[in-house]
């Protein structure tokens, strides 16, 4: 029983990692109706940028702030320069562009920074809260950060005119243009915000898993699964989905052994999706003929 | 994403109804090849038969692998291009086909040529069984489910319970077959012709299948599933069968490739393979049979080209190639060929 | 009609060039090959790309040798191709090396799966398959695969050393093992189990695996800790080794912690994990750790640092792979030197079988490289060492594995 509690708490900690990346995926989905496979690599690259700044002597929060802003600008530029030329192409062609971006970011990061793991500092104290041995303060702290970002995203989409304009642009570009929404720039803004969220996720994740170019590849699958499990159009659902996936993974490993952990966890996720195709909290769409 | 499946087709098609018909609709409309096309195919086939005697064994080996990829891409194209079901995990069926062939040869002493249909059959069943629950999933969700399959396959292959058959992490070594008695061909040349035979056979079957009623039904399911169902097309059956047949093709390809490489191991079939297949299908041209050939040549040879140009970050260069291709020809090479043919008719 | 008159100087120049070319061609035809072409496949991309640096060290080292005049007057040309750690790609690239590039020998092809895929082919083609960069035990099989040579201390030997250490020093240990779910992890596990066999097998109370795609191994550590084990054998690669060491310390578990050599680098593993959390780790070593303070002024280490600064500046001096690559490259050069002017594949193979007590000063004192017609494994010795919070301290004697 004690072990189970341990595994659940540890699963929540790992789940926090998935949840933060899932949030970035949802962000970009809400803005563009596309899932950006390159999200993980972009987050990793941004984290390396933060690392470079810290190596150069910039204090933690300064580097954090600069990186998030740089990631935002980078996302906007990427959308305008790289994605916009193919925005009328078939969906799969855009997926290929994403795959291309994955290769580019991963390969360039490996070339510049090499593949040796690098420790990454955490802004949270190194002693665990109340001296517990279940979760570190950093893991708790990054979960809190994820929830704060989630709240901001929720408020942004629900209560601000800009958020409304972005959702409109994604859902119905033609009508949005008719009412004066600059659809192109809404897409770019969406990419910028997703990129910034990704950078925050990367900075929170790196102290746990260590910084290296392949840091995000294992995480992306689980984040994707978590986002879909919770419902790709629901930020809160995606975050919850991320936590669920983390706990599920650990519990399965505990009871069924670690050699089938990956397989069984994925089977369960797919089974849930088959039962509830829009995810646990997603909106069920009714198609009108 | 709303539930209306038109989001799986070109976004442009909904916005601009005057877009020219896709190659699939063209192919469906034409029920036979023009004389010019038959001549072109004959030349291509002749070239394919002459090449192994002109090039060295190493190049012949590479071409054999490219032919196997072409068969796999044809299978994936049937599913994704013609039927609109996205699969990011087809490497799993490639793996199942490859391991079936390897285990039959290694543990049961099957001759190499007998393993191909068996590998295909096993994958047909596996694909159909996977396609059944997948019926409930659309677009992104299907993408995740197939992605999960692709990611999990290496772990499944390494599992202890299967280790007696699969050799676990160590894999299985396959003996390379010789040309049957008397024929003066090297092993590589013989395998090339063996693979070429299967490629020609399977391409012909696919062309036949897709240009008739079945092909039209698949495209209808892709573009307007509700209307198709209203017209009496058994959507569920077609979709699952397509998954099965697509897996059949990919499994045969995996078996052929594994015999050429003489080795199978879980590391040979990572998620990277599945992604390469998707790249091949899109770059070659969705919903096009010739696209499978273009795509196969791309995924076989372009990484080597990138490697030769840039030693520092060859995969970054490959990524740039991918993006460039998508800018220049969003409908793939086959799409570009269509456009050129339309501009210069009768040439 | 006016004819063109070539100036006399042009005729003179032309005849000199022609004559020189004829003479050079004549000379070239007579002597042995002008360059020594070696081939290898390395994972420059894909999941094992961290090891790609080994190929870069080789290239840098051979450039240094070439700058100093080459081996017996010949330059070494290393053709190093990317196989992405994928066996089919390895087969393709090795066939290119053998059939198109016509290399004299393969050197340090990396990765067990890739080498397994080409094992039969290179022996059938009679190409020297030298010093493969993997610790799998099956490379040392001269009877069936006479052209293949291993290099690394075999994983099974390493595992056995840990097993026998426990039998001698802690026979009542309750052992938990974490290992990577692939051939390397399973090979080390097999070595441990070979030593802890029969009635001793029940010493192992828990096992857990992980995939390279897993983000963390925290969950596995928790399960192993809950088994009540007081000894932990840690068979992981650098990233996961660092995570495991940190989690073991953070979770309050204080086992006797045996760490495999691959994950024991002070700079790339222990420092990120936390030096204070790495105290009393035990491992096996056979070469010096560049980040270990005790070798700071060691002449061999200084020589290596000078080499890195001059020929491989972008290389990471904290990465143990860069020392490993240097040692293997020196072994290759030694074999080539022994070949003299006979650079046929057969002679290269013969000389690779003829390495006698080759001392490379980056190896630990007391460890030498040896091969023979029945022994295709240059390294068979290692020494245990314990981490004291700042450096690895060797103890005991140099051990050899059971054959």
Instruction: Provide the residue-wise pLDDT of chain A in tens; the chain has 289 residues.
Output: 788 888 898 889 889 889 999 999 988 888 888 888 899 999 999 999 999 999 999 999 999 999 999 999 999 999 999 988 888 888 888 888 999 999 999 999 988 888 888 889 888 887 777 777 777 888 888 889 989 998 998 898 889 998 888 888 888 888 888 988 888 888 899 999 999 999 999 999 999 889 999 889 888 888 988 888 888 888 889 899 999 999 998 888 888 888 788 888 788 878 888 888 777 777 776 666 6
Residue environment code for C202-231, b if the CB has 16+ CB neighbours within 10 A, otherwise e: ebbbbbbbbbbbbbbbbbbbbbbbbeebeb
Of the candidates B173, B266, B268, which has its C-beta nearest C120's C-beta? B173
Structure-block tokens of residue B179: 């040309």
**How far is the CA of C306 from the CAs of B70, B135, C299, C301, C311, in angstroms?**
51, 63, 11, 9, 8
**Predicted local confidence at residue A286, as pLDDT:** 65
Which of B142, B278, B330, B332 should be substituted to probe chain A, the one whose Cβ sees the most A Cβ atoms within 10 Å?
B330
Task: Decide if C396 is inside a domain.
Answer: no
Work out the pLDDT band at B27, boundaries 50, 70, 90: very low
> Starting at the edge strand that comes first in sequence, how are the strands of the sheet with C231-235 ordered?
C204-210, C175-180, C231-235, C256-259, C282-285, C381-387, C392-400
- For chain B, positions 177-236, list CB contacts with chain A under 8 A: 226-227, 230
Q: How many angstroms separate the CA of residue B261 from the nearest CA in chain C?
A: 6
Residue C135: pLDDT over 60: yes
Structure-block tokens of residue C89: 């790609």
Run of H or E including A155: helix A137-159
- Flag if C113 and B307 touch (Cβ within 8 Å): no
- Flag if C87 and B263 touch (Cβ within 8 Å): yes
Chain B to chain C, count of Cβ pairs less than 8 Å apart?
77
Please report all neighbours of C, defined by 3+ CB atom pairs within 8 A: A, B
Of the candidates A14, A117, A250, which has its C-beta nearest C239's C-beta? A117
- Flag if B57 and C99 touch (Cβ within 8 Å): yes
Residue environment code for B10-24, b if the CB has 16+ CB neighbours within 10 A, otherwise e: bbeeeeeeeeeebbb
Task: Decide if C16 is inside a domain.
Answer: no
Task: Decide if C354 is inside a domain.
Answer: yes
Domain match, C222 and C264 both: yes
**CB < 8 Å to B173, chain C:** 116, 119-120
Residue C10: pLDDT over 50: no
Residue C2: pLDDT over 70: no
C234 C-beta neighbours (distance < 10 Å), count: 27
**Cα distance between residue B347 and residue A193, in whole Å:** 51
A172 C-beta neighbours (distance < 10 Å), count: 14
pLDDT digits 0-9 by tens, B167-206 = 888 888 888 888 887 788 888 899 999 999 999 999 999 9
Please state the φ and ψ torsions of residue B177, each to the nearest 5 degrees.
-75, 150
**Cα distance between residue A228 and residue A235, in whole Å:** 10
Of the candidates B58, B168, B171, which has its C-beta nearest C95's C-beta? B58
Domain's final residue, options C229, C263, C285: C285
Closest-CA residue to C229 (of C213, C214, C208): C208
- Flag if C84 and B272 touch (Cβ within 8 Å): yes
Closest-CA residue to B267 (of A105, C108, C155, C182): C182
**CB < 8 Å to C325, chain A:** none
Residue B300: pLDDT over 80: yes
Chain C contact for B267 (CB, 8 A cutoff): yes
DSSP state of C358: B
Which of B102, B151, B263, B317 should be substituted to probe chain C, the one whose Cβ sees the most C Cβ atoms within 10 Å?
B263
Task: Decide if C18 is inside a domain.
Answer: no
CB neighbour list of residue A108: distance below 8 Å, 6 or more residues apart: A45, B313, B316
**Cα distance between residue B155 and residue B169, in whole Å:** 9
Task: Decide if C26 is inside a domain.
Answer: no
> For a pLDDT cut of 90, what percent of chain A falls above it?
32
- Flag if A217 and C213 touch (Cβ within 8 Å): yes
Contact B244, B127 (CB under 8 A): yes
pLDDT digits 0-9 by tens, C63-108 = 999 999 999 989 999 999 999 889 999 999 999 999 999 999 999 9
CATH number, domain at C363? 3.40.50.2300
Domain match, C259 and C317 both: no
Chain A contact for B3 (CB, 8 A cutoff): yes
Over residues B53-61, mean pLDDT: 90
**CB < 8 Å to C318, chain A:** 116
Chain A contact for B326 (CB, 8 A cutoff): yes
Number of domains within chain C: 2
Domain match, C146 and C182 both: no
- Flag if A6 and C250 touch (Cβ within 8 Å): no
Domain match, C307 and C215 both: no
Closest-CA residue to B337 (of B277, B298, B288): B288
- Flag if B155 and A107 touch (Cβ within 8 Å): no
Of the candidates A85, A106, A224, which has its C-beta nearest B144's C-beta? A224
Structure-block tokens of residue A168: 């409109």
Of the candidates C47, C222, C268, which has its C-beta nearest A116's C-beta? C268
- Flag if B286 and A90 touch (Cβ within 8 Å): yes
Contact B101, B251 (CB under 8 A): no
CB neighbour list of residue C27: distance below 8 Å, 6 or more residues apart: none
**Predicted local confidence at residue C19, as pLDDT:** 44
Q: How many angstroms separate the CA of residue C38 from the nearest CA in chain A?
A: 24
pLDDT digits 0-9 by tens, A185-218 = 888 999 999 999 999 999 999 998 899 998 898 8
Among left, alpha and beta (phi > 0; psi -120 to 50; other), residue B345 is beta
Domain match, C231 and C258 both: yes
Domain range summary for chain A, segments of one domain joined by +: 2-275
Residue C267: pLDDT over 90: no
Contact A83, A191 (CB under 8 A): yes
Domain match, C272 and C222 both: yes
pLDDT digits 0-9 by tens, C300-335 = 999 999 999 999 998 888 888 899 999 999 999 999
Domain match, C375 and C320 both: yes
Which of B69, B169, B255 should be substituted to probe chain C, the one whose Cβ sees the most C Cβ atoms within 10 Å?
B169
Range of the domain at C179: 155-285
Q: Search chain B and give the residue with CA nearest A289.
A: B226
Residue C254: pLDDT over 60: yes
Chain C contact for B155 (CB, 8 A cutoff): yes
- For chain B, positions 75-94, list CB contacts with chain C under 8 A: none
- Flag if B263 and C91 touch (Cβ within 8 Å): yes
Q: Which residues of C touch A (CB under 8 A)?
A: 45, 47, 49-50, 52-53, 181, 208-216, 218-220, 222-223, 226, 238-239, 242-243, 250-252, 268-269, 271-272, 314-316, 318-319
**Cα distance between residue A58 and residue A49, in whole Å:** 12
Which of C43, C218, C315 should be substituted to probe chain A, the one whose Cβ sees the most A Cβ atoms within 10 Å?
C218
Residue B259: pLDDT over 70: yes
Of the candidates C82, C86, C100, which has its C-beta nearest B307's C-beta? C82
pLDDT digits 0-9 by tens, C190-236 = 999 999 999 999 999 999 999 888 888 988 999 999 999 999 999 99
Domain match, C129 and C186 both: no
Residue with tokens 């998954």: B243
- Flag if A212 and C239 touch (Cβ within 8 Å): yes
The sign of the torsion formed by the CA atoms of A32, B152, B72, B266 equals positive
Among left, alpha and beta (phi > 0; psi -120 to 50; other), residue A218 is alpha
- Flag if A116 and C209 touch (Cβ within 8 Å): no
Kindly report which listed range (B132-141, C245-254, C298-307) carries the lowest average pLDDT score: B132-141
Instruction: Burial-class residue C298 by CB neighbours within 10 Å (0-12, 13-18, 19+).
Output: middle
Q: How many angstroms separate the CA of residue B156 from the nearest CA in chain A?
A: 7
Domain match, C362 and C261 both: no
Chain C contact for A259 (CB, 8 A cutoff): yes
Looking at every residue in chain B, the average pLDDT score rounds to 84
Q: Indicate the length of chain B as a whole number.
A: 347
**How far is the CA of C234 from the CAs of A118, B132, C243, in angstroms?**
20, 42, 11
**Predicted local confidence at residue A288, as pLDDT:** 61
Residue C255: pLDDT over 60: yes
Q: Search chain C and give the residue with CA nearest B160.
A: C181
Structure-block tokens of residue C238: 């650098």
Q: Among 1.25.40, 1.20.1740, 1.10.3470, 3.30.1300, what is the CATH number of A2-275?
A: 1.10.3470
**CB < 8 Å to A209, chain C:** 215-216, 239, 243
pLDDT digits 0-9 by tens, B78-116 = 999 888 888 999 999 999 999 999 999 988 988 988 999
- Flag if C86 and B272 touch (Cβ within 8 Å): yes
pLDDT digits 0-9 by tens, C215-226 = 889 889 999 999
Looking at every residue in chain C, the average pLDDT score rounds to 87
Contact A124, A204 (CB under 8 A): no
Which of A4, A21, A115 should be substituted to probe chain C, the one whose Cβ sees the most C Cβ atoms within 10 Å?
A115
**CB < 8 Å to C46, chain B:** 270, 272
Domain match, C88 and C146 both: yes
Task: Decide if C393 is inside a domain.
Answer: no
- Flag if C250 and A258 touch (Cβ within 8 Å): no
Which of A38, A81, A85, A92 should be substituted to probe chain B, the one whose Cβ sees the most B Cβ atoms within 10 Å?
A92
**CB < 8 Å to A10, chain C:** 218-219, 222
C23 C-beta neighbours (distance < 10 Å), count: 10
**Predicted local confidence at residue B59, as pLDDT:** 92
């Amino acid at each position: 029983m004690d072990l189970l509690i341990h595994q659940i708490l540890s699963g929540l900690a790992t789940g926090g990692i998935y949840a933060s990346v899932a949030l970035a995926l949802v962000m970009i989905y809400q803005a563009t109706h596309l899932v950006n496979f390159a999200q993980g690599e972009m987050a990793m690259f941004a984290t390396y940028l933060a690392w470079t700044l810290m190596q150069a002597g910039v204090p933690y929060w300064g580097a954090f702030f600069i990186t998030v802003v740089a990631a935002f600008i980078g996302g906007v530029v990427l959308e305008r320069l790289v994605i916009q030329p193919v925005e009328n192409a078939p969906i799969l062609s855009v997926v290929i562009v994403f795959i291309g971006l994955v290769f580019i970011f991963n390969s360039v990061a490996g070339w510049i920074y090499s593949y040796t793991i690098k420790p990454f500092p955490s802004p949270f104290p190194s002693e665990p809260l109340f001296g517990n041995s279940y979760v570190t303060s950093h893991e708790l702290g990054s979960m809190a950060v994820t929830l704060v970002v989630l709240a901001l995203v929720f408020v942004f989409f629900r209560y601000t005119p800009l958020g409304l304009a972005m959702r409109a642009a994604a859902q119905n570009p033609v009508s949005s243009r008719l009412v004066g929404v600059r659809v192109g720039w809404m897409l770019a803004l969406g990419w910028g915000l997703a990129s910034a969220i990704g950078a925050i996720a990367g900075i929170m994740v790196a102290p746990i898993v260590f910084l290296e170019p392949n840091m995000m590849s294992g995480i992306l699958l689980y984040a994707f699964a978590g986002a879909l499990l919770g419902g790709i159009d629901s930020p809160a659902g995606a975050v919850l989905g991320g936590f669920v996936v983390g706990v599920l993974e650990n519990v399965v490993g505990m009871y069924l052994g670690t050699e089938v952990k990956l397989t069984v966890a994925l089977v369960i996720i797919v089974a849930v999706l088959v039962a509830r195709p829009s995810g646990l909290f997603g909106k069920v769409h009714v198609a009108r003929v | 994403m709303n539930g209306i499946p038109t989001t799986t087709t070109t976004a442009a098609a909904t916005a601009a109804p005057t877009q020219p018909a896709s190659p699939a609709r063209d192919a469906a409309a034409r029920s036979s090849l023009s004389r010019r096309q038959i001549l072109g195919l004959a030349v291509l086939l002749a070239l394919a038969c002459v090449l192994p005697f002109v090039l060295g064994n190493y190049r012949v080996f590479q071409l054999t692998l490219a032919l196997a990829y072409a068969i796999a891409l044809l299978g994936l194209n049937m599913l994704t291009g013609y039927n609109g079901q996205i699969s990011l995990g087809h490497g799993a069926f490639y793996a199942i086909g490859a391991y079936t062939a390897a285990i039959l040869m290694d543990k049961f002493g099957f001759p190499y040529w007998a393993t191909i249909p068996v590998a295909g059959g096993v994958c047909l069943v596996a694909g159909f069984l996977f396609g059944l629950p997948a019926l409930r999933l659309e677009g992104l969700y299907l993408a995740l489910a197939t992605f999960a399959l692709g990611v999990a396959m290496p772990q499944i292959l390494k599992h202890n319970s299967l280790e007696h058959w699969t050799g676990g992490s160590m894999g299985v070594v396959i003996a390379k077959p010789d040309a049957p008695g008397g024929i003066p061909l090297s092993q590589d040349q013989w395998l090339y012709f063996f693979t070429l035979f299967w490629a020609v056979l399977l391409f012909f079957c696919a062309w036949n299948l897709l240009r008739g009623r079945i092909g039209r039904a698949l495209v209808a399911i892709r573009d307007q599933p509700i209307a198709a169902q209203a017209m009496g097309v058994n959507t569920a059956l077609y979709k699952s069968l397509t998954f099965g047949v697509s897996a059949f093709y990919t499994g045969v390809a995996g078996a052929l490739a594994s015999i050429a490489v003489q080795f199978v191991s879980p590391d040979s079939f990572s998620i990277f393979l599945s992604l390469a297949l998707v790249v091949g299908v899109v770059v070659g041209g969705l919903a096009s049979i010739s696209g499978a050939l273009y795509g196969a040549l791309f995924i076989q040879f372009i990484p080597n080209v990138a490697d030769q140009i840039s030693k520092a970050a060859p995969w970054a260069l490959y990524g740039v190639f991918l993006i460039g291709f998508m800018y220049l020809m969003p409908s793939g090479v086959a799409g570009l060929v269509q456009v050129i043919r339309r501009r210069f008719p009768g040439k | 009609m006016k004819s063109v008159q070539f100036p006399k100087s042009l005729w003179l120049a032309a005849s000199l060039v022609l004559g020189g070319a004829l003479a050079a061609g004549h000379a070239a035809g007579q002597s042995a090959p002008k360059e020594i072409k070696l081939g290898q496949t390395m994972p420059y991309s894909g999941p094992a790309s961290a090891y790609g640096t080994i190929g870069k060290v080789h290239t840098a080292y051979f450039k240094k040798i070439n700058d100093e005049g080459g081996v017996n007057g010949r330059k070494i040309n290393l053709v190093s191709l990317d196989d992405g750690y994928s066996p089919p790609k390895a087969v393709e690239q090795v066939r290119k090396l053998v059939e198109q590039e016509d290399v004299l020998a393969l050197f340090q092809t990396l990765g067990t799966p890739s080498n397994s895929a080409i094992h039969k082919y290179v022996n059938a083609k009679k190409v020297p398959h030298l010093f493969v960069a993997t610790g799998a035990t099956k490379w040392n099989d001269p009877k069936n695969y006479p052209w293949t040579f291993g290099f690394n201390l075999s994983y099974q030997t390493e595992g056995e050393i840990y097993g026998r250490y426990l039998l001698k020093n802690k026979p009542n240990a309750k052992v938990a093992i974490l290992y990577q779910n692939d051939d390397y992890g399973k090979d080390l596990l097999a070595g441990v189990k070979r030593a802890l066999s029969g009635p001793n097998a029940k010493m192992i109370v828990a096992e857990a695996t992980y995939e390279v795609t897993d983000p963390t191994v925290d969950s596995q550590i928790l399960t192993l800790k809950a088994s009540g084990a007081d000894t932990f054998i840690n068979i992981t690669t650098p990233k996961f080794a660092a995570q495991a060491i940190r989690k073991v310390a953070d979770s309050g578990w204080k086992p006797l912690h045996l760490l495999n050599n691959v994950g024991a680098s002070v700079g790339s593993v222990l420092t990120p994990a936390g030096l204070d959390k790495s105290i009393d780790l035990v491992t096996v070593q056979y070469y010096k750790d560049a980040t270990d303070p005790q070798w700071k002024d060691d002449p061999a280490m200084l020589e290596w640092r000078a080499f890195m600064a001059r020929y491989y500046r972008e290389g990471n001096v904290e990465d143990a792979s860069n020392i490993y690559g240097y040692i293997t490259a020196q072994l290759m050069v030694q074999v080539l030197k022994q070949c003299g002017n006979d650079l046929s594949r057969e002679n290269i193979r013969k000389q690779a079988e003829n390495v006698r007590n080759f001392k490379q000063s980056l190896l630990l004192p007391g460890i030498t490289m040896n091969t023979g017609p029945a022994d295709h494994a240059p390294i068979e010795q290692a020494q245990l060492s314990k981490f004291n919070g700042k450096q690895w301290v060797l103890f005991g004697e140099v051990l050899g594995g059971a054959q």
